[in-house]
A and B are shown apart, each in its own frame.
Chain A
Amino acid sequence: SLEVLDVSGTGLAELGAELLALPRLHTLLAKNNRLGGPGSLPKGLGQASLGRSLRVLNLSGNRFAEVPPALLGLRGLQSLSLGGNRLHGIPPDIQELRSLEFLYLGGNFITSIPPELANLPSLSYLVLCDNKIQSIPPQLAQLHSLRSLSLHNNLLTYLPREILNLVHLEELSLRGNPLVVRFVRDLTYNPPSLQELAGRTIKTRNVPYARSDLPENLVRYLSLASNCPNPKCGGVYFDSCVRQIKFVDFCGKYRLPLMHYLCSPECSSPCSSASQSSTSQSESDSEDEASVAARRMQKVLLG
């Protein structure tokens, strides 16, 4: 009937199958050991009753080079720590941990974040500090329950503008990232192909066509049109979009570089003020949804 088991700092290289025979175990602490090789965790971890009963798992300070697939079956897990290991990435199947609220992955060698991480419906506390992360997928903004996001000491140069959509965010740490402070002039813009320009015109002007009018590949191509993220622009794009960094200014004290994807350089994003110039500097808040979001983020960043 054991409920809490702490085998931290015991030099263990593997956790045995005896664990599966503990139906009431809800907290397992195994930090600072020598876990990380194949077979570190017992097979069938997810299928045993542990799969539903385990709430807290701490494997920090071990030698895991990847998130052990065995633990992805722990559907009842609320808190997972793999801090201070040797992880180079996060598997998309992390989304299987449907009950996860607390995820600590600080102090690894993670270079990117899979968008599937955003499918964790209850995630409120996400720690990714002290890694090698270069960009945040915009899908992360779908983590509506996120209250704390720790990103300090990574390799971020900008954030996706969608970060402003995290309405419940109370804490955000960004220090120790090479965030750009000036408009980056040399973001390459790949001009759209003729096929893309034709496709855009067909879509925006509603030029009628039937499947028999066009080769199959072009019919499929036309179906892949994406709406420009700017809700004020009715445009669409296929493969070519402009990446532009615009700064959101918080009282002139904190400038956050946000990456915008637009259908063309002439398309102004909702964050911009009336004037649009290609040499944009800081944008002042205007009266729309984006400014409300920006004010909220200001409170988070300035404390």
Chain B
Amino acid sequence: FRYTRNLVDNGNGKFNVMILCWGEGHGSSIHDHTDSHCFMKILQGNLKETLFEWPEKKGNGEMTKKSERVLRENQCAYINDSIGLHRVENISHTESAVSLHLYSPPFDSCNTFDQRTGHKHKVKMTFYSQFGERTLC
């Protein structure tokens, strides 16, 4: 019912390579990247990336949008915590999208942010499948 994260390679513990499958209308929360490098390549369809500033320490207002762009097939993007936070979404109501992600070092938890208030919440990230096998939780 939401986008799936499918682990493909865990590079001897140095990185994670995964494929994300986005149905029509699926989007992520605003999130950070736990001090890791994050590369993303669009394999199919289009994904909209919206960049946000980090909220103020005692933030209690709407988060500030920095920029947004639509990434097309084969386009790549990079982000890390010093660049900012982002939300990734498939805004198409007719096409699904597929993206390839590389995270180095690998991480399994991050913070999600409420756009209206800037409040953050730590979440554990889970895989829908790993190396082709469905992961049950």
Contact = CB atoms under 8 A, between A and B. Distances in A.
Given A60-B93, A83-B94, A84-B94, A171 B116 contact: no
Contacts of B114: 253-254
Interface residues of B, number: 18
A104 B29 CA distance: 21
Nearest to A83: B93
Contacts of A81: 24
B116 A181 contact: yes
Contacts of A175: 115
A84 B94 CA distance: 7
Interface in B1-28: 1-2, 24-25, 27
Interface string A137-165: 00000000001101010000000000000
Contact of B94 (A31, A170, A171): A31
Contact of B93 (A61, A170, A179): A61
B94 A32 contact: yes
Nearest to B1: A148
B89 to A, nearest CB: 9
B42 to A, nearest CB: 19
Contacts, number: 57
B123 to A, nearest CB: 5
B2 A106 contact: no
Contacts of B94: 31-32, 60-61, 83-84
Interface stretch (A69-77, A92-100, A113-121, A125-133): A125-133
Interface of B: 1-2, 24-25, 27, 29, 91-94, 112, 114-117, 119, 121, 123
Given A32-B94, A253-B119, 13 more contacts: A31-B94, A61-B93, A83-B24, A83-B93, A104-B25, A106-B93, A127-B25, A150-B25, A173-B27, A181-B117, A252-B119, A253-B114, A254-B119
